[in-house]
Amino acid sequence: MIDRILLQKEAAALGVPLDETALEQFDRYSAELLRVNEYLNLTAITEPTEVLYKHWIDSLTILRYIEPKAGARFIDVGTGAGFPGVALLIARPDLHVTLLDSTRKKLTFIAQTLETIGLSAQTLHMRAEEAGQTAAYREQFDFVTARAVANLRELCEYCLPFLKVGGTFVAMKSARSEEEIAEAQNAIHLLGGRIEAVQTFIVPNAGERTLIFLKKISQTPPKYPRPSAKIAKQPIR
Ligand code: SAM
């Protein structure tokens, strides 16, 4: 299905070593993704080489900048068909991974496919703003990721409540994000976060990408996250 040697080489260029087990898991997950995508809308990408670069390598860029401690708890918000969450789980099977999405069919695909490749993660069918108000998930995670889910201001309200103080939120963006970052400053402050770093780079065969790293420096006030209609209609200014 995918070119394993190419995947191994591109991941190594990010400082991410992939062993034979991981390569096999990436390969089998890719095959299932494209097979099931023929009747269930999981991804706009239909070519194995595009899956390699635009899903797997793009997702793995996070590990170039952060090295989660063994056993760290991590949640991928709006994971869709598992990006970046499944990529991080395959590369780091020691992590405790939760994959959250409001679309059940995508989570069913993920759970079934992870089982066939011998991995496990918690799949959570909830809206982020509901899970963020649930004790079992609020301020429970060391890392939060989100790719292509919402603009940074809304995303901070969805994602920062999940983090323990001291934890890191990685927002994955497809292009330079200066305006989005400026617009989100008040929300970040109010929700207990601080921007630690912004990295812009090129993913081969995919284009420019920006990773925004935020640290949780104080607890999120209990009223956040608000219900989704409020988040959309009255963004934090
Ligand atoms: N992260 C994946 C990726 O990059 O391929 C999926 C991106 S897709 C464009 C956005 C996903 O976020 C969808 O699967 C959608 O169901 C989910 N989503 C959007 N808002 C959400 C919310 N408030 N709570 C949970 N999931 C949400």
- Nearest-10 Cα torsion for 137, 194, 209, 125: 10
| CA 20 to ligand 1 centroid distance, Å | 30
| CA 101 to ligand 1 centroid distance, Å | 6
CATH of region 4-232: 3.40.50.150
237 residues of the chain, pLDDT tens digit each:
899 999 999 999 999 999 999 999 999 999 999 999 999 999 999 999 999 999 999 999 999 999 999 999 999 999 999 999 999 999 999 999 999 999 999 999 999 999 999 999 999 999 999 999 999 999 999 999 999 999 999 999 999 999 999 999 999 998 878 999 999 999 999 999 999 999 999 999 999 999 999 999 999 999 999 999 999 999 999
- Which atom of ligand 1 is least distant from the CA of 55? 5
Strand partners, 173: 210
**β-strand 122-125 against 96-101: which pairing, if any?**
parallel
Residue nearest to atom 3 of ligand 1 (CA): 83
- Which atom of ligand 1 is least distant from the CA of 130? 24
- Which atom of ligand 1 is least distant from the CA of 131? 24
Residue nearest to atom 4 of ligand 1 (CA): 147
pTM of the entire predicted model:
0.98
- The answer to whether the Cα torsion of 11, 66, 140, 71 is positive or negative is positive
Residue 177 confidence (pLDDT): 86
Residue nearest to atom 27 of ligand 1 (CA): 78
- Helix (H, G, I), strand (E, B), or coil: what is residue 205? coil
Q: 209-236 b/e with 16+ CB inside 10 Å = b?
A: bbbbbbbbeeebeeebbbebeebeeeeb
Q: Which of 108, 63, 57, 60 is nearest to 81 (CA)?
A: 108
Residue 119 confidence (pLDDT): 98
Which among 103, 149, 153 is the best mutation to test ligand 1's pocket, defined by most ligand atoms within 8 Å of the CB?
Answer: 149
- Helix (H, G, I), strand (E, B), or coil: what is residue 55? helix
